[in-house]
Chain A
Amino acid sequence: MDRRSFLHAGAAFGALALAPAVRADEATYQRFYAALARDPSLAVYANQANSQEGDAAVKGRLPRDLRGTFYRNGPGRFELGGERYHHWFDGDGFAQAWTVADGQVRHRGRFVETQRYRDESAAGQFLYPSFGTLVTRRGVRDNDTMNAANTNLLPYDGRLYALWEGGSATELDPESLATRGVKTWSIDLRAMPFSAHPKLDPQGGMWNFGTLPGANRLALYQIGARGQVLRTGLIPVPQLALVHDFVVSSKHLIFVVPPYDLQNDAGLSFADRHRWAGSGNGARPARVIVVAKDTLALRQVFELPPQMVFHFGNAWEDGDCTRFDVVLHEGDALAEVGSVMRGEHTPPRSRTVQVTLDYASGQARTDRLFGTSEFPRVMPQVAMARHRRLALLGASGASPDLWLDSVNLVDTDSGKVDGYAFGAGWQVEEHVLVPRRNARSETDGYLVGVAQDLRAGVTVMTVFDAAGVKDGPVALARLPYRAPHCFHGNFLAA
Chain B
Amino acid sequence: MNRFALLLALLSSAAASHAADLSIQVDGVRGDGGAVRVALFDSADRFLKRPLQVASAAVGATLEFKGLAAGQYAVSVYHDANDNGKLDQNMMGIPVEATGFSNNALGNMGPPTFEAARIDLSAEGSAIRVTLH
A contact residues vs B (CB 8 Å cutoff)? 1-18, 129, 136, 138-143, 187-193, 212, 215, 217, 219, 232, 234
Q: Which residues of A contact B112 (CB under 8 A)?
A: 139
Q: Which residues of B contact A13 (CB under 8 A)?
A: 92-94, 109-110
Per the bound structure, the CA–CA distance linking A427 and B115 in Å amounts to: 51
**Which of B7-15, B64-72, B83-91, B121-129 interfaces with chain A?**
B83-91
Minimum CB–CB distance for A273 against chain B, Å: 13
Q: Which residues of B contact A15 (CB under 8 A)?
A: 110
**Given A10-B110, A17-B109, 6 other A-B residues pairs in contact with their CB atoms under 8 A:** A3-B80, A3-B86, A7-B99, A11-B110, A18-B108, A192-B90
**Given A17-B108, A140-B108, A6 and B94 contact (CB-CB distance below 8 Å):** no
**Interface residue from A2, A138, A190 paired with B94 (Cβ < 8 Å):** A190
**Interface residue from A4, A9, A142 paired with B51 (Cβ < 8 Å):** A4
**Interface residue from B76, B105, B108 paired with A7 (Cβ < 8 Å):** B76
Taking the complex as formed, is B78 at the interface, i.e. its CB lies under 8 A from any CB of chain A?
yes
Per the bound structure, the CA–CA distance linking A215 and B93 in Å amounts to: 10
Q: Mark B92-132, 1 if CB is under 8 A from A, else 0.
A: 11111001000001111111100010000000000000000
Q: Is B39's CB under 8 angstroms from A4's CB?
A: yes
Residue of A nearest to B56 (CB): A3
Q: Which residues of A contact B92 (CB under 8 A)?
A: 13, 191-193, 212, 215, 217, 219
Q: Would you give 16 A-B contacts (Cβ < 8 Å), ordered by A?
A: A2-B85, A3-B37, A3-B39, A7-B78, A7-B99, A9-B87, A12-B93, A13-B109, A18-B109, A140-B107, A141-B133, A187-B96, A188-B96, A191-B94, A191-B96, A217-B92
Residue tally, chain B, CB below 8 Å to A: 35
Per the bound structure, the CA–CA distance linking A27 and B125 in Å amounts to: 49
Q: Is B90's CB under 8 angstroms from A188's CB?
A: yes
Residue of B nearest to A234 (CB): B91
Minimum CB–CB distance for B82 against chain A, Å: 8
Taking the complex as formed, is B44 at the interface, i.e. its CB lies under 8 A from any CB of chain A?
no
Q: Is A141's CB under 8 angstroms from B80's CB?
A: no
Q: Is B78's CB under 8 angstroms from A6's CB?
A: yes
Per the bound structure, the CA–CA distance linking A486 and B95 in Å amounts to: 33
Taking the complex as formed, is B48 at the interface, i.e. its CB lies under 8 A from any CB of chain A?
yes
Q: Which residues of A contact B3 (CB under 8 A)?
A: none
Q: Is A190's CB under 8 angstroms from B90's CB?
A: yes
Q: Which residues of A contact B99 (CB under 8 A)?
A: 7, 141
Minimum CB–CB distance for B48 against chain A, Å: 5
Q: Is B106's CB under 8 angstroms from A7's CB?
A: no
Q: Is B90's CB under 8 angstroms from A191's CB?
A: yes
Per the bound structure, the CA–CA distance linking A8 and B51 in Å amounts to: 11
> Which residues 37-64 in B have Cβ within 8 Å of A in the complex?
37, 39, 48-51, 54, 56
> Which residues 20-38 in B have Cβ within 8 Å of A in the complex?
37
Q: Is A16's CB under 8 angstroms from B91's CB?
A: no
Minimum CB–CB distance for A296 against chain B, Å: 12
Q: Which residues of B contact A138 (CB under 8 A)?
A: 106
Q: Which residues of B contact A129 (CB under 8 A)?
A: 108
Q: Is B107's CB under 8 angstroms from A10's CB?
A: yes
B contact residues vs A (CB 8 Å cutoff)? 37, 39, 48-51, 54, 56, 76, 78, 80-81, 85-96, 99, 105-112, 116, 133
Q: Is A140's CB under 8 angstroms from B96's CB?
A: no
Q: Is B91's CB under 8 angstroms from A136's CB?
A: no
Residue of B nearest to A193 (CB): B92
Q: Which residues of A contact B109 (CB under 8 A)?
A: 13-14, 16-18, 140, 142-143
Residue of B nearest to A11 (CB): B110
Q: Is A190's CB under 8 angstroms from B133's CB?
A: no
Q: Is B87's CB under 8 angstroms from A139's CB?
A: no
5 closest A-B pairs by CB: A139-B106, A14-B110, A190-B96, A10-B111, A6-B87
Per the bound structure, the CA–CA distance linking A5 and B41 in Å amounts to: 11
Most chain A CB neighbours (cut-off 10 Å) among B39, B107, B112: B107
Q: Which residues of A contact B89 (CB under 8 A)?
A: 9
Q: Which residues of B contact A187 (CB under 8 A)?
A: 81, 88, 96
Per the bound structure, the CA–CA distance linking A11 and B107 in Å amounts to: 10
Q: Is B106's CB under 8 angstroms from A192's CB?
A: no
Q: Which residues of A contact B49 (CB under 8 A)?
A: 5, 8
Residue of A nearest to B82 (CB): A187
Per the bound structure, the CA–CA distance linking A140 and B94 in Å amounts to: 12
Per the bound structure, the CA–CA distance linking A395 and B131 in Å amounts to: 52
Minimum CB–CB distance for A17 against chain B, Å: 5
Per the bound structure, the CA–CA distance linking A140 and B110 in Å amounts to: 8
Q: Is B85's CB under 8 angstroms from A17's CB?
A: no
Q: Is A7's CB under 8 angstroms from B87's CB?
A: yes
Q: Is B39's CB under 8 angstroms from A6's CB?
A: yes
Q: Is A143's CB under 8 angstroms from B94's CB?
A: yes
Q: Which residues of B contact A9 (CB under 8 A)?
A: 87, 89, 93, 95
Minimum CB–CB distance for A461 against chain B, Å: 38
Q: Is A7's CB under 8 angstroms from B93's CB?
A: no
Minimum CB–CB distance for B36 against chain A, Å: 11
Residue of B nearest to A8 (CB): B48
Minimum CB–CB distance for B60 against chain A, Å: 19
Q: Is A14's CB under 8 angstroms from B107's CB?
A: yes
Minimum CB–CB distance for B55 against chain A, Å: 10
Q: Which residues of A contact B107 (CB under 8 A)?
A: 10, 14, 17, 139-141
Q: Which residues of A contact B78 (CB under 8 A)?
A: 6-7
Residue of B nearest to A19 (CB): B108
Q: Which residues of A contact B86 (CB under 8 A)?
A: 1-3, 6
Q: Is A6's CB under 8 angstroms from B37's CB?
A: yes
Q: Is B94's CB under 8 angstroms from A136's CB?
A: no
Per the bound structure, the CA–CA distance linking A232 and B91 in Å amounts to: 9
Per the bound structure, the CA–CA distance linking A136 and B116 in Å amounts to: 14
Q: Is B96's CB under 8 angstroms from A6's CB?
A: no
Residue of A nearest to B107 (CB): A139
Per the bound structure, the CA–CA distance linking A99 and B120 in Å amounts to: 58
